Amino acid sequence: MRASIYLLFSLLALTIPAHASDELTLVYSANLDGELEPCGCTLDTDFGGILRRATYIDQLRAQQNKDLNEPVLISAGGLFAKELGSDKIKNSFILSGLEQLNYDAIGVQWADMIHGIEFLQQSSLPLTAGNWKDTTLAHNQIIRRDNHTLFFSQWLDPATSPYRNMPDLSPIDERTTALQQQLSDAKQQGMVTVLATTLDHTQAQALLDLSQVDILIIGSAYEQFSEPFKDKGTLVLQAGSRGQRLGVLSLALDDQKSITGWNHQVVELTSDMADAPRLKTWYDNYNEQLRLAFEEEIKKMEAYDQGQSPFVGEQTCEACHQQSHQTWQDTDHAKAYDDLEEVGKAFDPHCVGCHVVGYKQPGGFLSIDLTSQLAGVQCENCHGAGREHVNSGGQIQTPNHALAKEQVCSQCHVPEHSPKFTVKDYWPKIMHGKEQVVSSPGQ
């Protein structure tokens, strides 16, 4: 333990550049890409994580004294993994973990919008997008240190926007004028301007006027940081992804706040760096939430394996209600899951619920592999879970027997998904039930 602390301090001494009061130090990163912690499966992969990041930043801040400006802490966003179905538990802990690091500014990338803007709004992080249309996200952050003021903003690329085919719904301004105005105002007020984006350098040059940008952070590289370079008056930075490293940039500035020199270091968050003790509760909570979610899934599977599911599936109903089953078989309800598969949305939790039986309910649909007998809109979507009714040979009524048709249908036929729905028009297309019930199947 003592040895590792020793190592940590010597490491910090090496990696923290010397400061002077007219210098400004920037600690920057981008594209954590969902890597809350290193997997640590091999030494080669044992880099990064929010716990070590906190340790490094705490140490860096602790070293500040009267000759030293507190470092400016910024991120160009890309906090979450890009894959769809990205883990909501993990992502909410990424937000709450970073909250404890006191960031000065965090740019927003499209990947950060994966759970919707409401999800981000729950966080108190200084999230920023210069071309966001309304004020849901801050357009910029103004960061003050002694005799320096820093302006930060982020450009959200319209070309990679998920709204690029739905301009009316797009939350961003595709024109650069508003951002450009913010930058030149900041420059006029003697600020050091930082602009981050996921564009590469050539794209950024083509799209944006960089004459008012002192520091441009371009789209990240895989894992490794690039060496900064000056292009006309702009210093260009490129962070490495996956949260393995931090860029530490010390700037020398002249009276016009132009960059006259810089010192760049890349700090590797290796296993020598202890986990920040002050984030222990946060980390324990994260693991506890994961454990609970895991157990919840297991419980669902076990209940199902032991035949405890309250749902039985349409084939079981068929045994005694052949005519109703025949009618149902020919309706669109029977192929509701196939239609979802056809449009490639069978794995989207926002879609599955109305196209299968008992989604997110104990013993309900889990996946097509595990519970194929519960795919599609079936008898039990409308009549309720049928196991008790079946076990009683039809003596115990089905759960929804007292419900009006309107109530039954409106679980799914809501205006957003079925704007023309009325019971009068729709019921005749699926009408069934007036039949002789076979009360003893197989005889």
- Cα separation of 32 and 154, whole Å? 16
Tell me the residue type at 301. M
Q: What is the CA radius of gyration of the chain?
A: 29
Question: Is-contact 94 48, C-beta < 8 A?
Answer: no
C-beta of 395: minimal distance to ligand HEC in Å? 7
Q: Toward ligand HEC, which CB reaches closer, 49 or 376?
A: 376
C-beta of 407: minimal distance to ligand HEC in Å? 9
- Cα separation of 243 and 324, whole Å? 58
A 10 A CB-CB count for 268 gives 17
C-beta of 315: minimal distance to ligand HEC in Å? 9
C-beta of 330: minimal distance to ligand HEC in Å? 11
Q: Toward ligand HEC, which CB reaches closer, 50 or 346?
A: 346
C-beta of 373: minimal distance to ligand HEC in Å? 11
Q: Toward ligand HEC, which CB reaches closer, 2 or 307?
A: 307
Q: Toward ligand HEC, which CB reaches closer, 206 or 343?
A: 343
Q: Toward ligand HEC, which CB reaches closer, 165 or 202?
A: 165
Nearest CA-CA partner of 433 in 320, 265, 357:
320
C-beta of 345: minimal distance to ligand HEC in Å? 4
Q: Toward ligand HEC, which CB reaches closer, 247 or 376?
A: 376
C-beta of 276: minimal distance to ligand HEC in Å? 40
C-beta of 122: minimal distance to ligand HEC in Å? 23
- Cα separation of 212 and 194, whole Å? 9
Question: Is-contact 77 109, C-beta < 8 A?
Answer: yes
Nearest CA-CA partner of 86 in 117, 114, 118, 107:
114
Q: Toward ligand HEC, which CB reaches closer, 235 or 382?
A: 382
Q: Toward ligand HEC, which CB reaches closer, 139 or 335?
A: 335
Q: Toward ligand HEC, which CB reaches closer, 266 or 390?
A: 390
Q: Toward ligand HEC, which CB reaches closer, 139 or 345?
A: 345
- Cα separation of 305 and 277, whole Å? 42
Nearest CA-CA partner of 198 in 257, 117, 113:
113
Q: Which pair of tokens denotes residue 253?
A: 């500035």
- Cα separation of 321 and 325, whole Å? 6
Q: Toward ligand HEC, which CB reaches closer, 61 or 387?
A: 387
C-beta of 390: minimal distance to ligand HEC in Å? 4
Nearest CA-CA partner of 130 in 140, 122, 120, 121:
140
C-beta of 419: minimal distance to ligand HEC in Å? 7
Measured CA distances, 118 to 92, 121, 123, 128, 276 (Å): 12, 5, 9, 14, 29
Instruction: By CB under 6 A, name the binding residues for ligand HEC.
Output: 312, 314, 316-317, 319-321, 324-325, 328, 332-333, 335-336, 339-340, 343, 345, 348, 350-351, 353-355, 377-383, 386, 389-390, 393-394, 397-398, 401, 405, 408-409, 411-414, 417-418, 420-421, 423, 426-427, 429-430, 432-433, 437, 439, 441
Question: Is-contact 285 249, C-beta < 8 A?
Answer: no
Question: Is-contact 26 274, C-beta < 8 A?
Answer: no
Nearest CA-CA partner of 153 in 180, 113, 188:
180
- On the 0-12 / 13-18 / 19+ scale of CB atoms within 10 A, 7 is middle
C-beta of 335: minimal distance to ligand HEC in Å? 5
Q: Toward ligand HEC, which CB reaches closer, 260 or 443?
A: 443
Which residues 6+ apart lie within 8 Å of 111 measured at CB? 33, 77, 78, 79, 80, 81, 82
Which residues 6+ apart lie within 8 Å of 218 measured at CB? 197, 199, 200, 201, 204, 236, 237, 238
C-beta of 166: minimal distance to ligand HEC in Å? 14
